[in-house]
Structure 1
């Protein structure tokens, strides 16, 4: 006898509890594919060119995609199918009941995320390190779950080391810097059912990742959106490609040369979408700080040092609420200031001082801040507005004051 399995999303209109406030909704306007986000061929023999592309993508967009990455296509597609089976064949009640006795977390659509509004998704999270031990607590249905997902995690680990090593070489950081200081700590798989009105809902709120890098497989259905120059843009679903985004920790280690950027997930009305995100993080006892080789008098540290586990504990980074503004004690990681409103007066003061020093420069740190984020605005300010004779030597102290609260 077939088991009756009522699904929460088999409805004709979006319930009020899923409708986000007007200012947070995706809206009806079509969001274009961002053709600027590079698709990087890791199989090319020109290693230096690959490194250049990775760094440029990390600096400009905080996102890129990789192809010819060495992971067999069937490993990714079988894993995606396994998660689709997991989400489709179990009721929400069963998932919560089993997860309460096992080492994984199922989050259904009933979770309140912001002011009573729910996300249009189901989600499973579980730890992945050490792999052999963690696998014993993963779901045992479907029957192939542990074998298939375990193989996928092992492959992603190798890919992550390849990408991080190339980034090390590009930044000038010693080879192997991340080999012992990074782990595939967490897997998060999402199922976004087809939605009657995607303009009202969100799959995931806008957020920054607390990782070194995050590696995402989104199959053939797009839904990931990235903030590019203040506008939301879609990340194309490229066949057999992995999306890689720069996390907070790598932004810190690179001292702002690479950017962690906001992104979100939206739904669509035609078909369900499943995605798999692997978070590659520092080890819990790692001290996360700008790499010393990157620092000098003209490039002072933009971030404080912190134990990664302290950041996780203070910010609840892997909790249900991924919006950075909801994370408590972010001063532990981002010194003293983060939101634009908090530093507006300081920016205005610095602008006024530099207008006196450089008449006619038409400087706007505020515009730079909005466009590039704190660390990149600092770099852009030095590159574009500070002349050698008029005080490049003073720029670090002034910008530290504005951006670091010093």
Structure 2
């Protein structure tokens, strides 16, 4: 792809469209071509984060519980109690834990990582066939310059919707083939299968979370049974100034539950006890964290924690993120067992599409997203 001439003294990693006057170009969002920045030492100011948010060197490692699912999956009640207890402890403190012996085929995980290269190593013009449109959450996004004018993340993503409804059996595959062509059919089949595996795993985790909160195994599993979730492929190219930018800025996930698989490069950091901590990659484990929607569902008992991703100057980092979300018509309201005079209602009733619209059109996700959304809902009601 011809990147054209560069204006505004911007380096070639971020460039405006090729046509129009200088004034027109200054009003246009930048285009981030991730194939070019590997050797670029000058970062556009839009990618440079404020000093108080820049990555720290050698953060301490976060000690997160390793939850072994083998016993629970085999029906061992003692193992189930132990697993739910570990989750409860983590979720009351920071909302992060690892799961191992989860039953997901290791070959499927490897394929899901390998097939990312088939997409992200394409020329920019071909990836843009799946371009994410303004106000939407699915499609290809290259650093989100169309949404934000500062603090841009150093990454590319490909997001698509998954439905556990039996009438939407091939939603992922059909979407990817529609956007990228039928030569991406195998690509689509891999992520269709991966999403189905993540959906099943999330329901297992929801059983244990239900046990840990004293509302029973079926409460949350049934709530998310026909989930309407989001899958995201994250691709963080090397950056020659990793101390100035971030792959993903500090935020809490607005979704219910995130199941993340990191490659071996690492870069996930979590903010706990007023300090950033790293979570070391473990290819045999999934990193699980509570999102804002489940924090509301638990009436604030379980925490949605601030986290971010950093980049490095040597290697591309890849991660697979499955964001569990309830079906569109489900009302997010805590079970009656979690509401009493000691723990009154904290958040209003809402549906996931309401919250998603808020984060896409009205508010950039950060540590205050759920509180800001609560205020927004109350203002609209009044």
TM range (shorter): 0.7 to 0.9
* CA contact 2:262–2:283 (8 Å) conserved in 1: no
Distance of aligned partners of 1:326 and 1:175 in 2 relative to their CA distance in 1, 3 Å threshold: closer
In the TM superposition, residue 146 of structure 1 has moved relative to its aligned partner by 1.0
Q: 1:250 aligns with which of 294, 298, 302?
A: 294
Does residue 61 (structure 1) correspond to residue 89 (structure 2)? The answer is no
> Residue 335 of structure 1: CA displacement?
6.7
Q: Aligned pairs, how many?
A: 330
Which residue among 264, 269, 272 is the counterpart of 1:220?
264
The 5 Å alignment of 1:319-330 reads: 321-323=364-366, 330=373
Provide structure 1 residue ranges, at least 5 long, that are not aligned to the other structure: 337-406
Q: Do the aligned partners of 2:339 and 2:345 also contact (CA within 8 Å) in 1?
A: yes
Deviation of 1:308 after TM superposition, in Å, equals 2.4
Structure 1 segment 86-125 matched on structure 2, within 5 A: 86-88=119-121, 90-99=122-131, 104-109=138-143, 111=145, 114-125=148-159
Separation in 2, partners of 1:288, 1:229: 29
Assess if the C-alpha contact under 8 Å between 1:209 and 1:247 holds in 2: yes
Q: CA deviation at 1:327?
A: 8.8
Contact 1:104 1:137 (C-alpha < 8 Å) held by counterparts: no
Which residue, 34, 42, 51 being the options, matches 1:22?
Answer: 51
Give every structure 1 segment of 4 or more consecutive aligned residues whose post-TM-superposition deviation is greater than 6 Å.
3-6, 333-336
TM-score between both structures, scaled by the size of structure 1: 0.74
1:302 aligns with 2:346: yes
Q: What is the aligned partner in structure 2 of residue 350 from structure 1?
A: none
The answer on whether the counterparts of 1:128 and 1:135 sit within 8 Å (CA) in structure 2 is no
Q: 1:360 aligns to what?
A: none
SS of 1:33's partner is coil
**In the superposition, relative to structure 1, how do residues 165 and 112 fare at CA in structure 2: closer, same or farther (>3 Å)?**
same
> Does 2:254 correspond to 1:210?
yes
When structure 1 is superposed on structure 2, of 280-289 and 198-207 the one drifting more is 280-289
Does the aligned pair in 2 maintain the 1:192–1:272 contact within 8 Å? yes
1:146 matched to 2:188: yes
The secondary structure found in structure 2 opposite 1:290 is coil
Matched, 1:74 2:136: no
1:279 and 2:307 are equivalent in the alignment: no
Cα offset, 1:143, TM superposition: 4.8
Work out whether residues 157 and 184 of structure 1, in 8 Å CA contact, stay in contact via their aligned partners in 2.
Answer: no
Query: Structure 1 pair 53/326, CA: closer, same or farther in 2 (3 Å)?
Result: closer
Q: 1:114 to 1:127 in 2, by over 3 A?
A: same
Q: String of CA shifts for 1:331-378, please: whole Å, max 9, x gaps.
A: 357878xxxxxxxxxxxxxxxxxxxxxxxxxxxxxxxxxxxxxxxxxx
Question: Residue 201 of structure 1 is aligned with which of 241, 245, 259?
Answer: 245
Residues in 1 aligned to 2:281 and 2:220: alpha-carbon distance in whole angstroms: 28
Change (3 A) 1:296 1:333: farther
Going from structure 1 to structure 2, the CA distance change for 1:116 and 1:303 (only over 3 Å counts) comes to closer
Aligned to 2:61: 33
Q: Structure 2: how far apart are the matches of 1:85 and 1:213?
A: 27
Distance 1:115 1:15, change over 3 A: same
> Which one has more relative contact order, counting CA pairs under 8 Å at least 6 apart?
2
Describe the shift of the 1:93–1:331 C-alpha distance in structure 2 as closer, same or farther (beyond 3 A).
Answer: same
Q: Which runs of no fewer than 5 residues in structure 2 stay unpaired?
A: 4-32
Cα separation, 1, equivalents of 2:288 and 2:371: 27
3-state SS of paired residue (1:153)? helix
**RMSD of equivalent CA atoms:** 2.8
- Aligned with residue 176 of structure 1, among 218, 224, 232: 218
Deviation of 1:324 after TM superposition, in Å, equals 5.2
Residues 306, 366 of structure 2: 8 Å contact kept: no
State the alpha-carbon separation in 2 of the partners of residues 213 and 240 from structure 1.
19
The answer as to 2:169 corresponding to 1:137 is no
Residues 1:249 and 1:326: Cα distance change in structure 2 (over 3 Å): closer
Distance in 1 separating the partners of 2:153 and 2:260: 19
